[in-house]
Amino acid sequence: MQLELREIHKSFGEKEVLKGISLKTESGSALGILGRNGAGKTTSIRILLDVFSANSGEVLLDGRPINRETVRFGYLPEERGLYPKKKIADQLQYFAQLKGMSKKDAAKAADAWLNKLGMHEYKEKKLETLSKGNQQKIQLITAVIHNPDIVILDEPFSGLDPVNAMMLEEVVKEEMQKGKIVLFSSHQMNYIEEFCDNIAILNDGQIVLQGKLAEIKHDYSRDKLVIRSQECDAIMQKYADCCDKTGEAELLMHLSSPEVKQQRMAELSQQFDLDELKVYEPKLSDIFVEYAGTKE
């Protein structure tokens, strides 16, 4: 499957929220949708889910207008929407049936997912008795219990401890391996970097950067070196004008231009005992700040 948002415009009164955004992603991969609050991420997701319509533009699946009666969506919203005083099993079955599952299949799927996430002992408990992390896992189950074709995760790791985050990571990876389309919206850049081959950064209702993350990083000027060595002080002494200490035994060296990279790397290798020497690759957080740090 290939999912595409093409030239989507959306206004609320006089306020133009989306200004002709276009996105594309495919089965078995994850697209990270990034942007500051108010950039247009949630509006884009709601248009995709048909919560409301765009003023103009198209949502396409395999080149044709999407048929939401035959395509199954799974959605984990940032604002969680479960019932605190209802039993977990009852809620999971209820949401699964809303997505078209029979009562019998919904109960079977609920049991399978609760077992998978180590939550079966809480089956008859009320949601409000669970920790925040376990409530998050129940919310995740509601998003995937009906075996959706397209999974949309809005801040999925918010509030999770490292153990529960790892468990959720495994679920997401399995969904991708099954050929699902996965869309991430998150401010936690480390998870976007881990899961998403492609990213799109929104700023003021427009896409200001999109493409394969690896290619975006590679296109950045390769004019910095990361040096790890027990001889950092000696290196600093020789190259004091272009080195910053970034750790106990780590330096960041700024080059006058990318063209001198190989020469400088050879010099360093010959003169000092190095544990690691590599070209600095920008973090996604650096890229995000550059493109979404300010509104236009």
C-alpha distances (whole Å) from 58 to each of 13, 54, 294 are 21, 8, 28
C-alpha distances (whole Å) from 3 to each of 22, 48, 54, 208, 258 are 11, 10, 16, 20, 38
| Dihedrals phi, psi of 140, to nearest 5 degrees | -60, -40
Q: Which CATH code is given to the segment(s) 223-279?
A: 3.30.70
Cα distances (angstroms) measured from residue 284 to each of 64, 199, 288: 33, 10, 6
Structure-block tokens of residue 113? 């997912």
Q: Where are the domains of the chain?
A: 2-217, 223-279
| Structure-token match 């396409």, residue found | 60
For residue 79 the two structure tokens come to 């604002």
Tokens of residue 205, six digits: 């209702």
Q: What is the pLDDT of residue 78?
A: 79
Architecture of domain 2-217: 3-Layer(aba) Sandwich (3.40)
pLDDT in tens, the chain (296 residues): 999 999 999 999 999 999 999 999 999 889 999 998 889 999 999 999 999 999 999 999 999 999 988 999 999 987 777 899 999 999 999 999 999 999 999 999 999 999 999 899 999 999 999 988 888 889 999 999 999 999 999 888 877 788 888 888 888 889 889 999 999 988 888 888 888 889 999 999 999 999 999 999 888 888 999 999 999 999 999 998 899 999 889 999 999 999 999 999 999 999 999 999 999 988 898 899 988 875 44
Write out the two tokens for 219: 């296109």
Predicted TM-score (pTM) of the model is 0.83
Token couple for 283: 């973090």
Under 8 Å CB-to-CB from 173, ≥6 apart: which residues?
Answer: 195
For residue 103, the model assigns a pLDDT of 94
